[in-house]
Amino acid sequence: MAKQEDIFKNVVSHAKEYGFIFPSSEVYDGLSAVYDYAQNGVELKKNIREYWWKSMVQMNENIVGLDAAILMHPTTWKASGHVDAFNDPLIDNKDSKKRYRADVLVEDFAEKIHQKAQKEIEKAKARFGDAFNEQEFVTTNARVIEYLAKEKEIRERLGRSLGAGDLADVKALIEELEIADPETGSKNWTEVKQFNLMFGTKLGASAENAMDLYLRPETAQGIFVNFLNVQKSGRMKVPFGIAQTGKAFRNEIVARQFIFRMREFEQMEMQFFVRPGEEMKSYEYWKETRLKWHLSLGLGKENYRFHDHEKLAHYANAAADIEFNFPFGFKELEGIHSRTDFDLKAHEEYSGRKLQYFDPELNENYVPYVVETSVGLDRMFLAVFATSLKEETLEDGSTRTVLKLPAVLAPTKAAVLPLVKKDGLPEVSRKIIEDLKWDFNVAYDEKDAVGRRYRRQDALGTPFCITVDHQTLEDETVTIRHRDTMKQDRVKITELRGIIENEVSMKNWLMKM
Ligand code: ATP
């Protein structure tokens, strides 16, 4: 099996070679942790966004959309707590001069211990076969018990010390665990310090009158400050939700994992407003619903897990992450947070305006509680892209690279390929494209032998190849080749739309939820 780092390297180079993702401003050697989405990447990203949007806004009568500006009044970030508390604990290695997030160093260490326990479980599973009872094994095997207890102890202590703002204890923990610089092995660490992640900018033409602004570090606050505008103009009744997708900016300390941790990224967030006291029911509902959404894409149930937070953010009374098995291990893909009435109350306080809802059934005013679902679009992209990229060995011993994207997300749904560049085959191919392009993204390719063209479309993740040959001229049939099985069927041109639609329609995929 290929090593994790090799798989990850392969993902990054495939994304570049096939026009999905380029480093930003590459002619100037790029900008650290900033990336551009290329001709195929932009389509895949748009499809993921649309898949999310439909499941939220179109499928739920009580959820509406919003597109708030990136620049907001600076008091927003005072009220939200970001000016004072949007910090990461950072630590420098004195020998390598490299900077790390102290919490991430400890979490990665805990994850390694978790993986050791997992390995023991896998070994036992292989040994005992069908007779294996995982539950029993986990609670009786001394080694597994020890690993899991150690992991829990580390995570809890980290949660406690971060929660109390005790950075000296985070440093002590790093030293006790003998955590070394992952790149150099040095254990010569500085103290742990706080670092604010917001990017500042200025509004206004003259230096004296310029106003200090921030690029938003999350999209959520645009929803909170518009809560009453949307509720009133949309005559919304609690419970209801507001959904938004858009850019967010964070001056991340450690940003070395491709599009997993970027300085400019996109979030897909939904804030659900509920009666005080009903937030836990809603929180459980959204945890389950969001996991179902992820599973509907078919990337494998085993690749997801929940991680309940030990350390809660200043605004939350419950929080969990949906973690995904990225090429570098399980990491946060989405956060589900019960944010209480913290944000709305804070905006009331700082703005002096009421942000309350009159509940006609209870005949009373209150500040609603909020349950948030927040997923990174770029992390979704990475999850989908990395998991779909496969090297396959075929029956004849040759290999192929295939990007088995969920068909609903594929940038191009079908490629039309004339077998040869003459005899009127290109013209027929163009006619098929003219007909299909109203419904699907379709591509045309006449360069190279048809086998090589199939391989190229496989690498791009195109679910169907339609080949036009001389028989097409006689009976209006073509061959349609399926990306995953490589099976080829002879079908009528008039059947193509139905066959493609059946596999790529968002409706069919969303119905799996
Ligand atoms: P992490 O702990 O990985 O830094 P977070 O807990 O700060 O993430 P949230 O503030 O909950 O993240 O943001 C919600 C979602 O936005 C995350 O689940 C993630 O998918 C995405 N996200 C956050 N930061 C980044 C980033 N720097 N680059 C890409 N996506 C991000």
- DSSP conformational letter for 98: -
Indicate if the pLDDT at residue 1 is higher than 60. Answer: no
Residue 250 beta carbon below 6 angstroms from any ligand 1 atom: yes
**Nearest-CA neighbor of 86 among 242, 211, 216?**
216
**pLDDT tens for residues 324-336?**
999 999 999 999 9
Which amino acid is located at 439 in the chain? D
Residue 264 beta carbon below 6 angstroms from any ligand 1 atom: no
Instruction: Please tell me the residue having the least CA distance from ligand 1 atom 16.
Output: 376
Residue with tokens 């073509």: 478
Residue 269 · residue 63 · CB < 8 Å? no
Rounded to the nearest angstrom, the distance between the alpha carbon of 219 and the centre of ligand 1 is 12
Binding residues for substrate: 101, 218, 265-269, 372-376
Instruction: Please tell me the residue having the least CA distance from ligand 1 atom 22.
Output: 376
Using the CB atoms, write b or e for 81-116: b if 16+ within 10 Å: ebeeebebbbbbbeeeebebbbbbbbbbbbbebbeb
Split at pLDDT 50, 70, 90, the class of 343 is very high
In the chain, DSSP finds a helix count (H) and a strand count (E) of 18, 23
Residue 481 beta carbon below 6 angstroms from any ligand 1 atom: no
What's the rounded Cα separation, in Å, for the pair 383 and 292? 16
Using the CB atoms, write b or e for 347-377: b if 16+ within 10 Å: bbeeeeeebbbeeeeeeeebbbbbbbbbbbb
How large is the average pLDDT for residues 254-278? 93
Indicate if the pLDDT at residue 97 is higher than 50. Answer: yes
What's the rounded Cα separation, in Å, for the pair 166 and 413? 53
Q: What sign has the CA pseudo-torsion 100, 113, 10, 294?
A: negative
Residue 332 beta carbon below 6 angstroms from any ligand 1 atom: yes
**pLDDT tens for residues 48-70?**
999 999 999 999 999 999 999 99
Q: Specify the higher pLDDT residue, 201 or 210.
A: 201
Instruction: Please tell me the residue having the least CA distance from ligand 1 atom 29.
Output: 261
Which amino acid is located at 462 in the chain? T
Helix, strand, or coil here: 358? strand
How large is the average pLDDT for residues 227-245? 97
Relative to the CA of 217, which ligand 1 atom is closest?
Answer: 10
Q: Which residues contact 213 (CB under 8 A, 6 or more apart)?
A: 71, 72, 74, 200, 201, 202, 203
Residue 334 beta carbon below 6 angstroms from any ligand 1 atom: yes
- The pair of structure tokens assigned to 13 is 């180079």
Instruction: Please tell me the residue having the least CA distance from ligand 1 atom 3.
Output: 332
Using the CB atoms, write b or e for 234-244: b if 16+ within 10 Å: eebebbbbbbb
pLDDT of residue 2: 63
Binding residues: 101, 218, 250-252, 260-269, 332-333, 372-379
Give percent above pLDDT 70 in the chain: 99
- DSSP conformational letter for 297: T
pLDDT of residue 255: 63
How large is the average pLDDT for residues 438-446? 97
Q: Which of 374, 380, 384 best tests ligand 1's pocket when mutated (most atoms within 8 Å of CB)?
A: 374
Instruction: Please tell me the residue having the least CA distance from ligand 1 atom 23.
Output: 376
Residue 355 beta carbon below 6 angstroms from any ligand 1 atom: no
Report the mean per-residue pLDDT for the chain: 94
Give me the domains of the chain, ranges plus CATH numbers.
Answer: 394-510 (3.40.50.800)
pLDDT of residue 170: 96
- The pair of structure tokens assigned to 52 is 């999310």
Residue 89 · residue 196 · CB < 8 Å? no
How large is the average pLDDT for residues 472-481? 98
Instruction: Please tell me the residue having the least CA distance from ligand 1 atom 6.
Output: 335
Residue 376 beta carbon below 6 angstroms from any ligand 1 atom: yes
Indicate if the pLDDT at residue 211 is higher than 90. Answer: no
Output the pTM of the full model: 0.87
Rounded to the nearest angstrom, the distance between the alpha carbon of 244 and the centre of ligand 1 is 15
Q: Which of 261, 270, 286, 370 best tests ligand 1's pocket when mutated (most atoms within 8 Å of CB)?
A: 261
pLDDT of residue 244: 98
Q: For 163-169, which contacts have Cβ atoms below 8 Å and span 24 or more sequence positions?
A: 163/311, 163/312, 167/89, 167/102, 167/191, 167/192, 167/193, 167/194, 168/192
How large is the average pLDDT for residues 92-101? 92
